[in-house]
Structure 1
Amino acid sequence: MRKILLTLLLLIAFPVFASHIVGGEFELIHISGNKYRLNLIIYFDQINGALGAKDLGANVSIFRKRDKMLMSTVTLLLQNESNVPYTQPECSNGEIVTTKLLYTSELTLSAAQFNDPEGYFVVWQRCCRNYSISNIYSEMPGGTNTSAGQTF
Structure 2
Amino acid sequence: MDLNLSHLPLANLGLEPWMISIVVPVVGLVFAGVIIVTTFYFKHRERELWHQTARVALEKGQPLPVLPDSAGFGDAAAAVKAATAANNQPRWRGYLIGGLINLAVGAGLFVSLSQISGASFNVGYFGCIPGFIGIALLLGAVIEAFASRHKS
TM-score in terms of structure 2 length: 0.20
- Quick check: which one's helix share is greater? 2
- Greater Cα radius of gyration, structure 1 or 2: 2
TM-score in terms of structure 1 length: 0.20
- Quick check: which one's strand share is greater? 1
